[in-house]
Amino acid sequence: MHLAEQFGDGASLVQTLGDLLRTDGLQDLLAGFNDAGEESAVESWLGNGTNRPVEVGAVQRAVGRTRLSAIAEQLGVTPEVAADGLARIIPSAVDALTPGGTLPSGEQLDQLDLGSLLAGVDVAELLR
C-alpha cells in the first residue's frame, strides 16, 4: 500500500508531526528513539551523512501507544498506518530541524513551521 493513498501529499502528516514536536519537544522524541534502540539512526539524522531509515515498530515504541493513538485519530487512520507514515518522514524532519547537529531551542520549536522547513523534501515521494 502506498501511504500517499492515506496521506495525499503528506501535508497533514507533516503538520501533525510539527504539532507533536511543539507539544512534546524534539529532545523527547529523540530520547524515545534512543530508548527504542535506535541510537545509530538518531545519530545519522543529526549528522551530515545519509539518514538511516527507521522501522514502524521503533516509531511505535518511541512515540508511545497513547500519543500514536491520538495522532492516528487526528489523521483518521489506524495507529499502524500513522506509525508507518511517521517512520517515512521523521528522518528527513529531524535532519532539517538540526542543521549541523544543533538542536533547536524551545522557542524555535514553538514557532516551527515544519511544512516550510521541509519545502525542499518530496514528502509525497517518501510516502510511496
| The model's pTM | 0.95
pLDDT tens profile 37-66: 999 999 999 998 899 999 999 999 999 999
67-97 exposure pattern, b = at least 16 Cβ within 10 A, e = fewer = bbebbbeebebebebbbbbbbbbbbbbbbbb
User: Of the segments 1-5, 22-26, 46-50, 87-91, which one has the largest average pLDDT value?
Assistant: 87-91
Hey, what amino acid is at 88? R
d(CA 13, CA 3): 11
Asked if 16 contacts 75 with a C-beta cutoff of 8 angstroms, the reply is yes
CATH of residue 29: 1.10.10.690
Residue 14 pLDDT more than 70? yes
Give Cα 12 distance to the centre of its chain. 12
* 32-36: Cβ within 8 A, 24+ apart: 32/61, 32/62, 32/63, 32/64, 33/58, 33/62, 35/61, 35/62, 36/61, 36/62
Give Cα 101 distance to the centre of its chain. 16
Residue 2 pLDDT more than 90? no
Domain that holds residue 36: 4-126
Number of domains the chain is built from = 1
Asked if 28 contacts 63 with a C-beta cutoff of 8 angstroms, the reply is no
